[in-house]
Amino acid sequence: MHSKKVIVIFKDFATRDEIHDLMESIKDHGGRITNVYRDLFKGFAAVVSHASLLRLESLARIRDTPIDYVETDEGVTSFVEL
């Protein structure tokens, strides 16, 4: 299984139950929740399969879904030109 790190951000109207249900669904499909965000925004970070990532991205495109967007959690690198 090829895993991806993702960050799932929810819309303001998302309920705790909706967020909890989605996190449980990810775990049921072999994913792992790595962080939960509550202060600045509603969301969580997770490690998911490619199929789960596609499902999350598809859900984010539905107008009335509680998911605002899904981002892959890529490492950031910088370099200095000498």
- Residue reference for tokens 């899904």: 70
Tell me what pLDDT residue 9 has.
96
Query: Beta strands 32-37 and 43-49: pairing type?
Result: antiparallel
Mean per-residue pLDDT, 24-47: 95
pLDDT tens digits, residue range 49-68?
A: 999 999 999 999 998 999 99
pLDDT tens digits, residue range 17-34?
A: 999 999 999 999 999 999
Q: Residue 15: is its pLDDT beyond 80? A: yes
Domains and CATH numbers, the chain: 3-72 (3.30.70.80)
Q: Residue 82: is its pLDDT beyond 70? A: no
56-81 per-residue burial string, b: 16 or more CB within 10 A, e: under 16: beeebeeeebbbeebeeeeeeeeeee
